[in-house]
Chains A and B, each alone.
Chain A
Amino acid sequence: MRRVTAINNGTVIDHIPAGCAITVLKMLGVDGGRATPVTLAMNVPSAKMGLKDIVKIEDREVNQSELDKLALVAPEASVAIIRAYSVAEKLQVNLADDVVNVAACTFVNCASHGPREPLPHHLIVHGREPLQLRCHYCGREQDMDSIVENLL
């Protein structure tokens, strides 16, 4: 059963963990202000994941910097850049061991939050399944429920 139609130009983000599509759109700054279509499917069957979400954003090509952010909530996501109804590029979300200047530490008393402090925000992947991040500076384990609010 085809729930989501093909798009002419844009970005398809597949294999998003079930229920996270709205968060992914928020991370990409996609809201009701866009004039071009955005399609979203949530909790659809997946041979790979059991259940997954899918997002299709027309007339926009996601760049690597934006993909780095997606790694925090959808580390297994596969991304396809679509041009003229064909897959022009396939991109993979890669979560590096060091996540620099993607999200700020979720611990409010971390030194990295000082106003105008110039050093980069730096989180370290401490575990991948499940995803666990720690701040390079304060060492605190990150609150993954609020990491999205701390995106830069």
Chain B
Amino acid sequence: MKLGHWSLSQPLGNGYGRVAAVKRGRGVILASLITIDDLSNEDILAILDDAELLLPAAKGEVYLPLLQGKLLGNLFFEPSTRTRMSFEAAMKRLGGDVINLGDVSSSSVVKGETLYDTIRMVDGYVDIIAMRHPRQGAAQYASDSAEVPILNGGDGAGHHPTQTLLDLFTIRQAHGTIEGLNVALVGDLRFGRTVHSLSHALVRFGCSLTLISPDSLRMPSEIIDDLQALGATITQSENLKAAVPDADVIYMTRIQKERFPDEDEYQRVAGIFKLSAADLAPSKGGMIVMHPLPRVDEVAPDVDTTVHARYFEQAFNGVVTRMALICRLLGVAVPQNAGTNGGES
């Protein structure tokens, strides 16, 4: 385990499992999660396994206060429904508690307080911070500022590693594995932090990727370079219908109006990819349709009732995977019989 500052140029072991920022918090060595590459493949699988054990607790079927006495700080500088609420649900399902930054307009941020000062202040109140910020790199910046772990809930058009964990969990639930699948990532691949993070993980597990986007919304070149350096099999296309027959997963994303600097540029690509139930006719039987939500019109409501739709399960899986992740980062073991009798071991 490396102490000190994280650096891309100094990977540990096989290049994964780097500790993003190892901090001494409350006398315990803790780590942040800034990108999915901060977790090794073994870490990812262990978190998914723990999430499996925590399903009954996530559904409220058993009470499992593994995090009693622990406090999470929810610092959301950007709008969020699922991520913010699922972090809160995850913490509370395990007996912990949450304090929220709340509306940015009612915080000291509007007084001009720096991100550094905000993090240093909250760092003293909580055991772990979940954070979303409009500026790319904010999570790493916060991790370099804080003593407690930072969970990146999305930084600008950067990364969204906790979303990747729930996406992988969803894929594994459907296919029994996350290895060697054919995954189509569709829509806004340029500003879409969910696909930035997910593509890294999928390639590490030997999946092949079909990247389907308008030319102006292609996956950033540095991500393509990273994926190809990992030996990824990548196809880039603008034809969604052609990808349907061979896909094991179709991961749809919203064209994010809020990321476009120019309204005209947004209008040129808005609504360009749409999936309806009829479009899924040539698909494999086990193919699943995923979406990080919120959706606009890219997935039609008639897909919801098909055997392929997984996006609402995806949203729930955000709770259970975040439960597993928070336990891991706070050094709390998930007992093997977590699903029964309150998890007494």
Contact = CB atoms under 8 A, between A and B. Distances in A.
Interface string A101-140: 0000101011111111111000011100000001111111
Contacts of A97: 7, 9-10
Given A111-B133, A111-B136, A115-B112, A139 B221 contact: no
A138 B7 CA distance: 12
Contact of B114 (A109, A110, A117, A136): A117
Interface in B107-121: 112, 114-116
Nearest to B37: A139
Interface in B132-176: 133-138, 140-141, 144-145, 155-159
A146 to B, nearest CB: 16
A111 B137 contact: yes
B222 A141 contact: yes
B137 A110 contact: yes
A105 B112 CA distance: 21
B136 A138 contact: yes
B35 interface: yes
Contact of B144 (A116, A119, A125, A138): A119
Count class of interface residues, chain A: 20 to 34
A98 interface: yes
Contacts of A118: 114, 116
B8 interface: yes
Nearest to B225: A141
Contact of B116 (A98, A107, A119, A125): A119
Contacts of A119: 116, 141, 144-145
Contacts of B156: 109, 111, 138
A134 B222 contact: yes
A113 B141 CA distance: 11
Interface of A: 97-98, 105, 107, 109-119, 124-126, 134-141
10 contacts: A97-B10, A107-B136, A111-B115, A114-B135, A117-B114, A117-B141, A118-B114, A124-B9, A137-B144, A138-B137
